Amino acid sequence: MKVVILAGGLGTRLWPLSRDNYPKQFIPLVGEDSLLQLCIKRLLSYFKPKDIYIISKSDYLFHIINHIEAIKIIDTKTKKSLRNNIILEPLTRGTAPAIMLFIKLMEKNCGDDEVIFVFPSDHIIEPISKFKKALSQAKQLAEKGYLNILGVKPKVFSPEFGYALVGERLEVGYKVDKFIEKPSLTQIRKFCQEKIFCNMGIFVFTKMVFIEELKKYSPQIFRYYSYDSQQLLRRFSSLPSDSIDYAIMQKTKIASLIEFDGQWLDLGSWDSLLEFLDRCKEKSGKKKDILFKSSNCLTYSKDRFISVLGVSNVIVIDSSDTVLVMRRNYSGMKEFISFLKNNRIPQLRESRTVYRPWGFYTILKEGRKYKVKEIGIYPGKHISLQKHKHRSEHWNIVEGVAKIRLGKDEIIRRANESVYVYKGMKHRIYNPTNNKVLRIIEVQIGDYLGEDDILRFDDYCIA
């Protein structure tokens, strides 16, 4: 068995929480773990670490590595195996080319009858026991030559999802009569609800079945499979962009479905995410925002208290630098994101928190000739050796231990201690611990405070 986690999506429907530089799969929406970390932990309960691969784009490499390293319940050997199994697409071309690329790269280690499991990186699936049972059943159908999906009975219908109309009952699961990706509400109302399932985006098939169906129904993509792996990578940008749903699933005659009767949530829209978070608040007893003489409204803010007065069917999202107000179930987010992109709105890509291979920084306050940041350095990581021409820096250690190089000297600083770095001084900060993020409040003072006022004397190595 081989496993592919698809972790290269931009998560644009959850803007402004999800940004191009830090999309939703890396955000801890439920507890302390990110959606990617939850996915990895879930799969480790059924698969061997050496068989789990993560495919994404190169921009996200250091995010994936840092998230693997931060999973507390897995050992060093498992983390190393997962790190070695990261596959980078030259650019994003959709799930069908991504899966084909994986199979090509695994060609020497993957026989025709090898069962391949494909998972999104950003779903909530519970409980594990029912999930593992569904995977075992899907494996049975895949070994019999079916191109299998996992599905759930929909509680409500949404044009955001794909649906499968099932017919013949198999030994386990169903034969799929029709696969419909993102249908209109008019189409959905015509379906027989007793025999319709929502597609969970989890696919199970053998290598041979996928390649044969790709050849049959998407020859424009399949023709690139004839290249060797290096040639395919070089030509990847010219591949047609398409999902497995459109490229194969809507056309194949050998689709089957395993019903999953647990809890599944695709946190792909603000409506679905906020409904889920509201249920979590009810269970935990956490204080909610105030909806005064308002109905059917949802709110989200990490830090601030939101009050909504006298409105209906509205979503209010508060992030560090952006507020989004939109009608519930509004379907124009994709068009809006294109508008932001075309107008080069910087908030589409980054927020006040910027992530780096060594950690992150958040701009807390800035004004004429000063800027205040919170800096977080991950365990065992360091910033590059550098100096600044136009600014001095004052560091106050808030949490953790800092090993600091100032000029030719090295010093240790702990919580409630501070350091002054004058203009032109070479410096580096290192977190020598193996389990705690080093947190620093930095105050920059100078005539110019741009991020390009950095002269580096070495490059940071991601690995």
Taking only the tens place, the pLDDT of each residue in 116-138 is: 999 999 888 989 999 999 999 99
3-class secondary-structure state, position 63: helix
* 240 neighbors 93 (Cβ within 8 angstroms): yes
pLDDT of residue 5: 96
pLDDT at 186: 72
Q: Average per-residue pLDDT in the chain?
A: 88
Read off the pLDDT of each residue in 277-295 and give the average, rounded to a whole number. Answer: 69
In the block, residue with structure tokens 């386990």: 172
Segment 361-385 shows an average pLDDT of 93
pLDDT in tens, 406-447: 999 999 999 999 999 999 999 999 999 988 999 999 999 999
Residue 284 has pLDDT above 60, yes or no: no
Report the pLDDT value the prediction gives residue 462, as an integer from 0 to 100.
55
Helix (H, G, I), strand (E, B) or coil at 266: strand
User: What integer pLDDT is reported at residue 390 of this predicted model?
Assistant: 93
End-to-end CA distance of the chain: 27
Task: Say how far apart CA 89 and CA 97 lie, in whole Å.
Answer: 10
pLDDT of residue 267: 76
| pLDDT (tens digit per residue) in 312-346 | 999 999 988 899 999 988 878 888 999 999 999 98
pLDDT one-digit tens code per residue, 192-203: 556 888 899 999
Most confident stretch, 253-257, 276-280, 328-332: 253-257
Please give the pLDDT value at position 461: 54
Phi, psi of 216 (to 5 degrees): -75, -40
Predicted confidence (pLDDT) at residue 301 exceeds the cutoff of 90: no
Give the pLDDT confidence score for residue 134 in this predicted structure.
Answer: 95
- Tell me which H or E stretch contains 278: helix 270-284
Average pLDDT over residues 371-381: 94
In percent, the amount of the chain with pLDDT more than 70 equals: 95
8 A C-beta contact, residue 317 and residue 300: yes
Bridge partners of 163, per DSSP, are: 180, 198
| Other beta carbons within 10 Å of 365 | 9
Q: Among 4, 14, 5, 12, which residue's Cα sits nearest to residue 298?
A: 14
Q: Which of 1-15, 83-97, 261-275, 292-306 is the least confident region?
A: 261-275
CA dihedral 282, 287, 289, 293 (to 10 degrees): 70
Contact 404, 419 (CB under 8 A): yes
pLDDT (mean) for 341-353? 88
CA 25 – CA 37 distance, rounded (Å): 8
pLDDT the model gives residue 285:
45
Q: How far is CA 420 from the centre of its chain?
A: 38
Pairwise pLDDT comparison (174 vs 190), residue with the higher score: 174
The rounded distance, in Å, linking the Cα atoms of 148 and 154 is 18
Confidence at residue 192, expressed as pLDDT on a 0 to 100 scale = 58
Instruction: List, for residues 57-75, the tens digit of each pLDDT value.
Output: 888 999 999 999 989 888 9
Question: What are 67's two structure tokens?
Answer: 């998230």
Cβ neighbours for 408, distance < 8 A, ≥ 6 positions apart: none
CA–CA gap between residue 124 and residue 147 (Å, rounded): 23
pLDDT tens for residues 189-248?
Answer: 666 556 888 899 999 999 999 999 999 999 999 999 999 989 999 998 899 999 998 999
Per DSSP, helices labelled H in 20-175 are 35-44, 61-69, 76-84, 95-105, 128-143
Given a cut of 70, whether residue 255 has pLDDT beyond it is yes
**Distance of CA 309 to CAs 304, 317, 406, Å?**
16, 15, 54
Q: How many CB atoms lie within 10 A of CB 107?
A: 13
**How far is 202 from 249, CA to CA, in rounded Å?**
12
Mean pLDDT, residues 171-197 taken together: 78
Q: What pLDDT score was predicted for residue 208?
A: 94
Read off φ and ψ for residue 231, nearest 5 degrees. -65, -40
Q: Which two tokens stand for residue 281?
A: 């608040």
Asked if the peptide bond before residue 159 counts as cis, ω within 30 degrees of 0, the response is no
State the Cα–Cα distance between residues 456 and 409, nearest whole angstrom: 18
Helix axes 76-84, 61-69, angle to 10 degrees: 160
Rounded-to-integer distance, Cα 89 and Cα 56, Å? 6
| 461 vs 295, residue with greater confidence | 295
Tell me which of 93-102, 326-335, 388-397 is least confident: 326-335
Mean pLDDT of 110-118: 91
Give pLDDT, residue 289. Answer: 79
pLDDT tops 80 at residue 281? no
93 neighbors 239 (Cβ within 8 angstroms): yes
| Pairing status of strand 52-57 against strand 2-6 | parallel
pLDDT of residue 91: 85
18 CB burial (10 A radius; 0-12, 13-18, 19+): buried
